[in-house]
Structure 1
């Protein structure tokens, strides 16, 4: 098993590009599955308006907050250091873990009722230098797209990019950590995946979930500002931002310094949501 580190910004971008543009050298065996467009259209008709979550936000975070060691919100394009997704990093008190005991890994939850529209079973990122290994390597991630709301006739998807910072040299390695498939209808709070954490502590410290909203049809990245204030405050308490962070201090929020198209509820800029 090889270990690696890649910037999750590349992950987010790769999901919005045409297939030919997604692949860096060595990415030819990426394995993903998506619902066909005609099925997604039928799904959209069953979803609530995204504004529903402004009035009645979700009370289910994507992971157990007690397991969050560090994190940050979605940083919009007006931030000093923009980043198109929030991050959660995990406590490491469970290590070492055995990959065959999948249920011992941290659970990942459906943040709302919805339909799984995409699964990334294995997605290789660009090669980068990994200081912990003192060599250039490429990691592979897995992920889920959960359509849970709509904006008119456009699906709003909660994007889970699950990034263990390893290359397992096995395209099926992450499959046991995914509990759903495209087309599955899930309820808020269902366990839809498990977070694989490598036993190499230096790499486990970097392992994280990158999360954001997407508008289907190439509508860009959107802040995941759909959680209630209790979750927002508790997540904020656990961020542990670095002292040299150019945006610090950031007030409690799920989206910071947003441009109009990054606001999930109305097309106008917002300093925080």
Structure 2
């Protein structure tokens, strides 16, 4: 037979138009992310300023007793061992899954467990919570999610073919985490892509806010202020890198 077997037909190449649309969507996503990081930098600067002022007042007034109480609370949690760690991870995961902001939870992790442990626990809890919301969306509630997503039609369009890098970019935007979790849940994104992109996307601000929380829990004023400056540096460096990458890709 001279006919072509439809099962072995050559794949249709992507049209230049669809490729241009994808490039435009990526550029817009990067622009939105850059603007969001700029707002996040300003918010972090204000937050660090307020906390630094509070710490200065606390160390030279009777409020210093509050800092002593924090140390006692940290000792109590430390005595709980793995039970305290597991309890925080589950509480953090549950909170993120129902839509609570994750960044205050990161600061709480730093305050209670210190920077290194707090970062690990906050990452584990926030990624687990996001994945839980993602799985619930996959299991049902698609209609309600799509109706809510009409608020950000451009974002929904850009996430039609999500990669881990796109997931990373949207995680830098000042949008409710629950919205992103459920919106990604109605796309074709693979589970591994969602998890890796979410972990990478959460890392920068989790580091910054865990540093802020850890700084609040230090007995030394110099140590506290150093960690606050470190948090500010992390946010600004990440914002600068995002801006540089966006400009480079558009050049």
Fold shared per TM-score above 0.5? no
Higher Rg? 2
More helix per residue: 2
Higher strand share: 1
TM-score, normalization by structure 1: 0.28
Scaled by the length of structure 2, the TM-score of the pair is 0.30
